[in-house]
Amino acid sequence: MDSLISDMSTSKSGGISCKDQNRRITWEGCSVLLDINDGDRVLFARLTAGSKIKIGNKNCSLQPLIGCPFGSSFQVEDGKEGPVLSRVLQSTKGNSLQITEESRDNRMLVDNNSAQSLTGEDIDEMRRKGASGDEIVKALIANSATFEKKTAFSQEKYLLKKQKKYAPRVLLRRPFARSICEAYYKKHAERIGFLRVDTLSLLLSLANVSAYSDVLLVDMLDGIVTGAVAERLGGTGYVCNTYCGVTPYPINIVQMFNFNDDISPRIVHSSVAELHSYENGTSPPNDQLEDASTIRSQQNEQILSPSGQNADSMEENEDGNMEIMTDVAASTKVDKGTKAGRKAPVEAIKLWKENGFSSLIIAAPNLDPWGIVKEVLPLLSYSASFAIYHQYLQPLATCMNTLQAEKLAIGLQISEPWLREYQVLPSRTHPHMQMSATGGYILSGTRISGGDQTQTM
Amino acid sequence: MFPFDSSKKLSFSRYISDGDLLIVYERHDNMKAVKVSESGVLQNRFGVFKHSDWIGKPFGSKVFSNKGGFVYLLAPTAELWTLVLSHRTQILYIADISFIVMYLEIVPGCLVLESGTGSGSLTTSLARAIAPSGHVYTFDFHEQRAASAREDFERTGLSNLVTVGVRDIQGVGFPDEFLGRADSVFLDLPQPWLAIPSASKMLKQDGVLCSFSPCIEQAQKSCETLRSDFTDVRTFEVLLHTYEVREGNLRSWQDNDGGSMSLKSCKKRQRSTKGLENASSLTIMARRNGESRGHTGYLTFARLKCTL
């Protein structure tokens, strides 16, 4: 792994994993989330000298982003060799409007498309002469017949709209479970099974994911849950993805996290047959194990290789709003030894068999929850928490009813999180006009010991 | 509460022993924290339970009283603790807590500042998230409350992860020793805007602050103050709807003789005996619980601007 950022390694919190799970400055080869114009477009990229993004019709190198703090903003400027991304330092003075009374209104506004006297050609001409985006926005305001008549609120809106078009901003975000889940939910919710960020956070809490946990996972949401759990474990415990058959489910999203060499090896997989096979001390048939691992390693290559199908298909998108750049996969320094998503070591499987997993999370949108639960619940320790996500209520209701009837768990509850965002501005505070109507459902509970008969009266 | 060495790890082979903290589960809405002691007894409406009968059983066991009543013995978790802790103040619940922890981007190793401590409900989850190597410094201006919280963290085994300080954060701000060192700051104060300038000095660049306020006016004032040093200022409300599930006997219209009994519920105990007679019409139905929390507070999040 790259050398530590000095201020991180001298941090007094004295932790072992603080060193680089929590790095706040980008480095060559790190994964970043680029937020263009306040979430209008979000994309994942890996910062290398050669990586580029397209903003409007301009191709910009991502080189200037290397070594910058996460949270910094960039604007496209014209350099000697074409457009370059240049850091915008955020001012610390307030930028909000302070208006108490508004005398203007929109009675004089007529929507006949004649308010703006600058034409498209004029703007192109300005651009050719090297005008910056900010200058164009100023010119647009100066040439708007109606700008002065607008209320201060709509002036602010107008400015923001023009700034987005002519002087787009790129915000460099840390790829954390929060930002990754939000980015996917906003642009490609179907890829993560419509799992909203508050639902994901609840899954982690309800399943009691904490350091040193051994978390059993059925993650069919391309690895979003796997990544979020691994982030919480911080290089302790294990995240074990289990599956039926011989092929583990893809966990491509894990690559978006900047997991270090402590964390990645903690992300493993093992088929449900393997997890059950050490029962009563019997080993699984050898050929079956080999089979699974060979197939897995092929699969692995497909996911990780730059030219693999997977990387390409991730890039496809209908609306162009969210891209996962090819070089996220391409430039990953592939060190086979520390890669996420290896086969679970046999010793670990044996330990799990002996001790049980300490948490269980299931996120399998197209499968019947009970069918999974009856297979994997016995792998959990007694008193261990579990949480099952589903987009639909009914399958969870049926599953809960069965769990109750079979007396396998207590504290059973189906919860549905509700999240509403507010616009909070002076004299303009109200809930957002649009909100997500559902974040899905979670069935949670605690496994109990089935030993009813051994009662002491 | 959280395993920091493998012997304390929850497992099939870990049995209840003298001195363990347990959550005694009667029903989903009736639980109690109990410290196991060789000579201890627990008395409730189900009868008398001797702790000595519990020792040596695995966590998650069902245990019986002298009268044959039973309870379950669970290992404590942050979620269970939130349900059993003694309320010295209004506390935060799971929906807000889990959202706060994720939105503050708290991971193992983080340094987190909190004020006020209150009853320590959120603090427990913060501790779980920063474990094993981070630390939560939590402050309350109420001396006794801080002392009780300290005792609780001792009891739940979190005192190596949490430090409780007595300090009026609104009045004097966070201690200078944390300047520029905090990954995240959480404020639950009556006038959070008074503490925001100090919080901004404590945070690392791009560090996240969260302020919890029950009233919209408080959120409004906080947002105004936040806009000078912070960016990405967002306010949320998060709630949890819970569902009850029952297996019901929905009779068809044609078979309905009386008309007065439209929905016959089939209680769990009866299910096995007479429930199957009308197997064709047994339906599993879910509906939202009748009562729910309508409001807890507004959560305002913001990131410290990068100025370097």
Q: What pLDDT, in 10s, does the model give residues A141-181?
A: 888 888 888 887 788 888 888 888 888 889 999 999 999 99
Residue with the bigger pLDDT between A209 and A16: it is A209
In which band, very low, low, confident or very high, does the pLDDT at B7 lie, cut at 50, 70 and 90?
low
Nearest to A414 among B239, B242, B303 (CB): B242
Last residue of a domain, one of B26, B52, B76: B76
In which band, very low, low, confident or very high, does the pLDDT at A107 lie, cut at 50, 70 and 90?
confident
In which band, very low, low, confident or very high, does the pLDDT at A10 lie, cut at 50, 70 and 90?
very low
B24 touches chain A (CB under 8 A): no
ipTM: 0.92
Which pLDDT score is estimated for A326? 40
Nearest to A234 among B108, B204, B303 (CB): B108
Which pLDDT score is estimated for A19? 52
Residue in A368, A365, A373, A440 with CA at minimum distance from that of residue A403: A373
**What is the DSSP code string of B10-50?**
--TT-B--TT-EEEEEEETTEEEEEE--TT-EEEETTEEEE
Residue with the bigger pLDDT between A258 and A336: it is A258
Most confident of A114-123, A125-134, B51-60, B253-262: B51-60
Q: Which residues pair with A88 in a beta bridge?
A: A73
Q: In this structure, are B99 and B204 located in the same domain?
A: yes
Nearest Cα of chain A lies from the Cα of B290 at a distance, in angstroms, of: 13
Name residues 203-262 of chain B within 8 A of A (Cβ): 204-206, 216, 219-220, 223-224, 227-229, 231, 233-243, 245, 247
Q: In this structure, are B162 and B103 located in the same domain?
A: yes
Comparing A190-194, A381-385, A451-455, B105-109, which segment has the lowest mean pLDDT? A451-455
Q: Is the pLDDT of residue A49 over 50?
A: yes
In which band, very low, low, confident or very high, does the pLDDT at A110 lie, cut at 50, 70 and 90?
confident
Q: Is the pLDDT of residue B238 over 90?
A: yes
Residue with the bigger pLDDT between B1 and B129: it is B129
Give the residue numbers spanning the domain of B267.
Answer: 243-288
A443 touches chain B (CB under 8 A): no
A428 touches chain B (CB under 8 A): no
Using a CB-CB cut-off of 8 Å, the residues of chain A touching B2 are 210-212
Closest chain A residue by Cα to residue B30: A411
Q: In this structure, are B226 and B116 located in the same domain?
A: yes
Q: In this structure, are B143 and B61 located in the same domain?
A: no
Which pLDDT score is estimated for A13? 37
Nearest to A212 among B4, B111, B125 (CB): B4
Q: What percent of chain A has pLDDT over 70?
A: 78
- Mean per-residue pLDDT, A384-393: 97
Q: Is the pLDDT of residue A7 over 80?
A: no
How many CB atoms within 10 Å of residue A299? 19
Strands B298-304 and B230-250: antiparallel
> Rounded CA gap, B9 and A382, in Å?
12
Q: In this structure, are B11 and B146 located in the same domain?
A: no
Nearest Cα of chain B lies from the Cα of A43 at a distance, in angstroms, of: 18
Q: Judge whether B121 is annotated as a binding position.
A: yes
Using a CB-CB cut-off of 8 Å, the residues of chain B touching A426 are 220, 224
Q: In this structure, are B148 and B230 located in the same domain?
A: yes
Q: What CATH code is carried by the domain that includes residue B56?
A: 3.10.330.20
Using a CB-CB cut-off of 8 Å, the residues of chain A touching B79 are 205-206, 208, 385
Average pLDDT, chain B: 90
> Rounded CA gap, A39 and A22, in Å?
23
Q: Judge whether B304 is annotated as a binding position.
A: no
Q: Is the pLDDT of residue A289 over 60?
A: no
Q: Is the dihedral of CA B83, B85, B86, B88 positive or negative?
A: negative
Nearest Cα of chain A lies from the Cα of B205 at a distance, in angstroms, of: 8
A82 touches chain B (CB under 8 A): no
Using a CB-CB cut-off of 8 Å, the residues of chain A touching B233 are 424
CA distances from B191 to A336, A402, B40, B50 (A): 52, 49, 45, 48
Residue with the bigger pLDDT between A98 and A183: it is A183
- Mean per-residue pLDDT, B69-80: 94
Residue in B72, B12, B7 with CA at minimum distance from that of residue B42: B72
Interchain CB distance below 8 Å, A456 and B63: yes
In which band, very low, low, confident or very high, does the pLDDT at A294 lie, cut at 50, 70 and 90?
very low
Q: Does a structural domain hold residue B1?
A: no
In which band, very low, low, confident or very high, does the pLDDT at A97 lie, cut at 50, 70 and 90?
low
A453 touches chain B (CB under 8 A): no
Name residues 29-48 of chain B within 8 A of A (Cβ): none
Strand segments (E) across A174-299:
214-219, 238-243, 267-271
Name residues 23-42 of chain A within 8 A of B (Cβ): 24
Residue in A116, A104, A115, A102 with CA at minimum distance from that of residue A149: A104
pLDDT digit string, tens, across residues B168-215: 999 999 999 999 999 999 999 999 999 999 999 999 999 999 999 999
In which band, very low, low, confident or very high, does the pLDDT at B4 lie, cut at 50, 70 and 90?
low
Which pLDDT score is estimated for B97? 97
Nearest Cα of chain A lies from the Cα of B79 at a distance, in angstroms, of: 7
In which band, very low, low, confident or very high, does the pLDDT at A335 lie, cut at 50, 70 and 90?
very low
Domain ranges of chain A: 6-91, 120-168, 177-447
Last residue of a domain, one of B15, B47, B76: B76
- Mean per-residue pLDDT, A47-52: 90
Which pLDDT score is estimated for A98? 57
Which pLDDT score is estimated for A142? 82
Q: Does a structural domain hold residue B144?
A: yes
Q: In this structure, are B152 and B181 located in the same domain?
A: yes
In which band, very low, low, confident or very high, does the pLDDT at A3 lie, cut at 50, 70 and 90?
very low
Q: What percent of chain B has pLDDT over 70?
A: 90
Q: Is the pLDDT of residue B256 over 80?
A: no
Q: Does a structural domain hold residue B277?
A: yes
Residue type, B224: E
Number of domains forming the structure of chain B: 3
Which pLDDT score is estimated for A95? 53
DSSP A2: P
Q: Is the pLDDT of residue A2 over 90?
A: no
Which pLDDT score is estimated for A310? 35
Using a CB-CB cut-off of 8 Å, the residues of chain B touching A233 are 108
Residue in B193, B219, B208, B211 with CA at minimum distance from that of residue B305: B208
Which pLDDT score is estimated for A371? 96
> Rounded CA gap, B282 and B213, in Å?
46
B26 touches chain A (CB under 8 A): no
- Count CA within 13 A, CB hemisphere, residue B205: 20
Name the class of domain A177-447.
alpha beta
Which pLDDT score is estimated for A92? 66
Q: Judge whether B120 is annotated as a binding position.
A: yes
- Mean per-residue pLDDT, B276-298: 82
- Mean per-residue pLDDT, A219-233: 97
Interchain CB distance below 8 Å, B243 and A397: yes
Q: Is the pLDDT of residue B305 over 70?
A: yes
Q: In this structure, are B204 and B116 located in the same domain?
A: yes
- Mean per-residue pLDDT, A173-196: 94
Which pLDDT score is estimated for A148? 81
A437 touches chain B (CB under 8 A): no
A178 touches chain B (CB under 8 A): yes
Strands A430-431 and A441-447: unpaired
> Rounded CA gap, A238 and A344, in Å?
9
- Mean per-residue pLDDT, A268-296: 64
For the segment(s) A6-91, the CATH number from 3.90.70, 1.10.3470, 3.10.330, 3.40.1710 is 3.10.330
Interchain CB distance below 8 Å, B305 and A92: yes
Using a CB-CB cut-off of 8 Å, the residues of chain A touching B125 are 205
- Mean per-residue pLDDT, A411-418: 96
Which pLDDT score is estimated for B169? 97
Average pLDDT, chain A: 81
Q: Judge whether B299 is annotated as a binding position.
A: no
Which pLDDT score is estimated for A165? 80
A vs B: CB pairs below 8 A: 287
Interchain CB distance below 8 Å, B133 and A446: no
Residue in A248, A180, A256, A197 with CA at minimum distance from that of residue A220: A248
Residue A81 C-alpha from the chain's centroid: 34
